[in-house]
């Protein structure tokens, strides 16, 4: 059964599915679903199957259903265990407890202060699992806008033994202003050392082909793997990658080629050298030197960033967009920040999760698994608590 049929059967209606680019490439936009409501096991399974097949799935118009960030977190629990974001918390290392920052230190407070009565965060924005993707810190009518460059191409937190499987956005505000060139921003020059100076010219060119209107760029690493000759696929299937957070960590070995446990589809899992800049130690290939590893990864990254595997996703207010970290790379675009006009506002709520999918809620992760893989050891509130909270604030 294909994903479209599974969606039709699970939701009891004909689902309108359209490609984000064309039917031969990753990504689908799925119309007609209300994700603010709890999912049945069959519905949750169908959504997971859709992500397995298409790698990116986007559901427009969720603001028409009054969707909040609490609903997004409930949805995320079907795809994996949400992880807390350290920017939301007081120092867990010192306190040993998960404590949300005081109101004056919260990201939501800074967002709400930028353009009062025009832009304000949705309910649930202060959850430990929510990261605010925004340019509103320090913004306001008197701010002096600047343009900052995009990130490195990456997958989210691939340097842990159990990496992130899935990330998702609930989109609240997107920039609508355009400059004389017809784009929101330009792509500023990279500072020295942002990428390795010996990066091949074609790779450097592909890395810098970034969207300029606040889009998120994606590359399909499953399609990139499929496009390789069979003998090269067989060789890469044997490659082990050593990942680690810091240069002095021993790290651990994982396969370069990820196999989806539900479909058997193979993909290149973050085959990149510079994905985390200077914050995280570069991965290496077992048996190769650091320089040999860099050249190995450069060749694969250049392949993955080829135009036929690339897609720049335009965000619209009310979208919920979900992507697989196992079968895509992504990059944040150049961004104007701070801003002095709400027409430049960019505000999205991101939740990332790891571990097995779950058709039913609450999840049945053991305390041992949570303690070993979620730092700090966070669990989302139960789905019925979320629904009660929604009704009380309706």
Q: Which of 280, 269, 282 is nearest to 239 (CA)?
A: 269
Residue 390 pLDDT: 40
What predicted TM-score, i.e. pTM, was given to this entire model?
A: 0.94
Joined together, the tokens standing for residue 334 give 């150049």
pLDDT tens digits for range 150-208: 999 999 888 889 999 999 999 999 999 999 999 999 999 998 888 888 999 999 999 99
- DSSP β-bridge partners for residue 58: 29, 321
Domain that holds residue 44: 3-392
Sorting pLDDT into bands at 50, 70 and 90, what band is 391? very low
Considering the chain, what percentage of its residues have pLDDT values greater than 70?
93
Q: How many domains does the chain have?
A: 1
Does residue 17 contact residue 4 with C-beta atoms inside 8 Å? yes
Helix axes 69-79, 41-54, angle to 10 degrees: 80
Q: Strand, helix or coil at 266? A: strand
CATH number at residue 10: 3.60.130.10
């Amino acid at each position: 059964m294909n994903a479209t049929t599974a969606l039709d059967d699970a939701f009891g209606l004909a689902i309108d599915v359209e490609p984000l680019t064309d039917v031969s490439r990753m990504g689908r936009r799925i119309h007609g679903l209300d994700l603010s409501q709890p999912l049945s096991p069959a519905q949750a399974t169908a959504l997971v199957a859709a992500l397995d097949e298409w790698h990116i799935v986007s559901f427009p118009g969720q603001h028409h259903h009054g969707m909040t960030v609490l609903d997004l977190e409930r949805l995320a629990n079907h795809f994996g265990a949400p992880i807390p974001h350290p920017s939301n918390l007081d120092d867990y290392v010192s306190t040993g407890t998960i404590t949300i920052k005081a109101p004056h230190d919260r990201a939501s407070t800074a967002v709400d202060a930028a353009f009062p009565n025009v832009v304000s965060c949705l309910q649930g924005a202060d959850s430990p699992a929510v990261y605010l993707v925004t340019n509103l810190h320090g913004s306001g009518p008197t701010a002096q806008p600047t343009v900052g460059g995009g990130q490195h191409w990456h997958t989210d937190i691939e340097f842990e033994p159990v990496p992130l499987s899935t990330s998702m956005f609930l989109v609240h505000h997107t920039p609508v202003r355009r400059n004389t060139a017809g784009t929101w921003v330009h792509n500023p020059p990279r500072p020295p050392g942002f990428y390795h100076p010996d990066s091949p010219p074609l790779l450097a060119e592909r890395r810098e082909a970034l969207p300029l209107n606040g889009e998120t760029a994606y590359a399909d690493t499953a399609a990139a793997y499929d496009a390789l000759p069979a003998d090269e696929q067989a060789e890469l299937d044997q490659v082990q990658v050593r990942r680690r957070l810091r240069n002095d960590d021993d790290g651990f070995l994982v396969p370069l080629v990820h196999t989806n446990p539900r479909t058997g589809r193979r993909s290149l899992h973050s085959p990149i050298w510079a994905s985390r800049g200077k914050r995280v130690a570069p991965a290496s290939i077992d048996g190769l030197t650091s320089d040999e590893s860099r050249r190995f990864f450069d060749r694969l990254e250049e392949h993955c960033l080829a135009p036929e595997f690339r897609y720049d996703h335009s965000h619209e207010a009310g979208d919920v967009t979900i992507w697989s970290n196992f079968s895509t790379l992504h990059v944040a675009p150049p961004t104007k920040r701070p801003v002095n006009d709400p027409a430049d506002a960019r505000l999205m709520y991101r939740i990332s999760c790891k571990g097995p999918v779950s058709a039913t809620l609450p999840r049945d992760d053991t305390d041992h698994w949570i303690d070993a893989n979620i730092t700090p050891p966070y669990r989302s509130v139960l789905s019925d608590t979320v629904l009660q909270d929604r009704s009380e604030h309706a």
